[in-house]
Amino acid sequence: MFVHIGGDVVIPLKNIIAILDMETTTISKDTRDFLKVAEEEGFVESISTDLPKSFIITEQDKKSKIYLSHISSVTLLKRCGFMEDLMKL
């Protein structure tokens, strides 16, 4: 299955490691440092010129990539079907 994460970008669901909310996670200095280092090393790809609401950590062929998306983390989780699984608990 594939997930549309914004713009023209669609990624395989199996490649997603984490979907994180930009506003709540970047409160932590560690997260800000992580994103800064990842951007410096070329692992970050911005999907839109809009302000990002979430970031998606992926891995394919043992290569990590972080996508900055203007779509909220809750919406992305719904698209992945994670929210339905949580509701069943």
Q: Where are the domains of the chain?
A: 2-88
Minimum mean pLDDT among 59-63, 71-75, 77-81: which range? 77-81
Q: Provide the pLDDT confidence category of residue 1 given band limits of 50, 70 and 90.
A: confident
pLDDT in tens, 16-64: 999 999 999 999 999 999 999 999 999 999 998 999 999 999 999 999 9
Q: Which of 82, 18, 15, 23 is nearest to 52 (CA)?
A: 23
Q: Provide the whole-model pTM.
A: 0.87
Angle subtended at Cα 11 by Cα 23 and Cα 72, rounded to the nearest 5 degrees: 25
pLDDT surpassing 80 at residue 6: yes
